[in-house]
Amino acid sequence: MSELVSTRIRTTAAKLGLPHLAESLNQYDGRADEAKMGYLDFLDLVLAEELAIRDDRRFRQGLRLSKLPHHKTLDEYDFAFQSELDPRKIKDLATLAFVEAKANAALLGPPGVGKTHIAVALSVAACRAGFSVYFTTLDDMVRQLKVAEAAGRLNSKLRTYLRPGVLVVDEVGYQPLERAEANLVFQVISKRYEKGSIILTSNKTFSEWGQVFGDEVLATAILDRLPHHCDVVSINGPSYRLKNRLAAIERDTNVA
């Protein structure tokens, strides 16, 4: 390939927003010569590489905007430790069919069983598939909405929780809400109904949500929408955190 043609391709690639092609042209040219590629095979190679680079860039940007607390995957989840949890239920969720259908997923169980890990893993998979994701605890979401409401910016702040394709609401039920706070949660869930997915984690069963939201009528209204299109997974096994804490105590005892 002549220097003139190389320069022209790099210039055109930069104008088209294909920086990887501009940077890797000589490498592509060498691979094409080595494999004796035809013109269409060479074009296929370049386009596939550019698409992979662009998808990876979008994925990393999606993770950054998601506010996820970590980026753990299902491969890192110890299903053997939670022997009562059927891995097939989680793997079915990981196909993201519920996200495609704008439905919801609820992970219920006591503290420490890995609910947040699974919610994050599903979120990472959703980011990789091109869905926008936003993570929040229920407590933080309510606090942010209350501040916005007091400042007259509630509708603007609501969009933070309505815009993403997947909203993750962690730690539902750890702190009871006042009625006004529960009403803010209802607005989010009601406006997202059949328009976007929610993944939530809770240490309370749905039958206990009247205590969480401080008002049976509001709890019923929320439950009328949230579980309507919802995959519910109950995890009732032992605590990972307690297991790790006991292991650390045992190690310290042995050292002593």
Contact between residue 126 and residue 96 where contact means Cβ atoms under 8 Å apart: yes
CA–CA distances in Å: residue 190 to residues 125, 202, 237: 25, 19, 32
Distance CA 65, CA 92 (A): 26
Name the pTM for this structure.
0.83
**pLDDT tens per residue, range 159-218:** 999 999 999 999 999 889 999 999 999 999 999 999 999 999 999 999 898 888 888 888
Other C-beta atoms closer than 10 Å to the C-beta of 73 total: 14
CA–CA distances in Å: residue 110 to residues 127, 182, 192, 229, 245: 27, 22, 27, 23, 17
The domain limits of the chain are 3-66, 74-242
Class for domain 74-242, per CATH?
Answer: alpha beta
Contact between residue 155 and residue 123 where contact means Cβ atoms under 8 Å apart: no
**pLDDT tens per residue, range 206-251:** 989 888 888 888 889 999 888 878 999 999 888 876 665 544 445 5
